[in-house]
Amino acid sequence: LSQTQIAVAPPARGFQVESAGCDDLPAITALYREVGRQGGGLARRGDEITEEYVAEFVHKSLQQGIILVARQNGSIIGEIHCYSPGLQVFAHVFGALTVVVHPQAQSQGVGRALFQELLARVQRGHPEILRIELVARESNLRAIQFYEKLGFRREGRFENRIRRDQGGYEADIPLAWLRMAE
């Protein structure tokens, strides 16, 4: 196949990015399990996506951060969240950023739309936030390049932090978006 013949998924249509609520917990749990089963992106495997894990990040994001979902025909096909770690010294930081898009809806612009809305809300509504942090495994090149296009910068590497399913270890890469750099 030549470059021009490679099929590109069409843009996902008819989805909206909006704030999530507590009612979305079951659908967000199901989405994370689906993406966890896919492997290679999330640190948690499908069987490690517990209701407690999802409830904790949903509640923290609602109370001290941002949580958004992408909805298509009533189904949640993507989610993004981040929240302040809680201590006063970190009051200007949103951390624990995680983004997922349903395997069947990936590469259609949903992740980009979620991120753009999150960054727009930080710019508009959270002047206190100067720094947003995330971590991605080194082999998730596509995600790392995507974050760099959005303005995140690499801040080093956590050598051998991730144990690979197929054996061996790989680095985890910390990235941050800084308001000053925008």
Ligand X SMILES: CC(C)(COP(=O)(O)OP(=O)(O)OC[C@H]1O[C@@H](n2cnc3c(N)ncnc32)[C@H](O)[C@@H]1OP(=O)(O)O)[C@@H](O)C(=O)NCCC(=O)NCCS
Residues in contact with ligand X by CB under 6 A are 35, 41-42, 99-101, 106-112, 136, 140, 142-143, 145-146, 149
Q: Are 173 and 161 in contact (CB under 8 A)?
A: no
Q: How far is the CB of 127 from ligand X (least distance, A)?
A: 26
Comparison of 84 and 106: residue with beta carbon closer to ligand X: 106
Cβ proximity to ligand X, 61 vs 140, nearer residue: 140
Those residues whose C-beta lies under 8 Å from the C-beta of residue 179, and which sit 6 or more positions away, are: 122, 123, 129, 130, 131
Token pair belonging to 16 = 């909206």
Find out whether 96 and 57 touch, Cβ atoms under 8 Å: yes
Q: How far is the CB of 108 from ligand X (least distance, A)?
A: 5
Nearer to ligand X, 50 or 145 (CB): 145
CB of 112 to ligand X, least distance (A): 3
Judged by beta carbon, residue 91 or residue 160, the one nearer ligand X is 160
Residue 132 DSSP symbol: E
Distance CA 63, CA 115 (A): 19
> Which long-range contacts link 162-169 to residues 24+ away (Cβ below 8 Å)?
162/43, 162/137, 162/138, 164/139, 165/39
In the complex, the smallest distance separating the C-beta of residue 179 from ligand X, rounded to whole angstroms, is 21
Q: Between residues 80 and 122, which has the closer beta carbon with respect to ligand X?
A: 80
The residue (of 93 and 97) whose beta carbon lies closer to ligand X is 97
Whole-number minimum distance, CB 126 to ligand X, in Å? 21
Q: For the CB of residue 35, give the shortest distance to ligand X in the complex, in Å.
A: 5
End-to-end, the C-alpha distance of the chain in Å comes to 39
Give the separation between CA 49 and CA 40, rounded to whole angstroms.
15
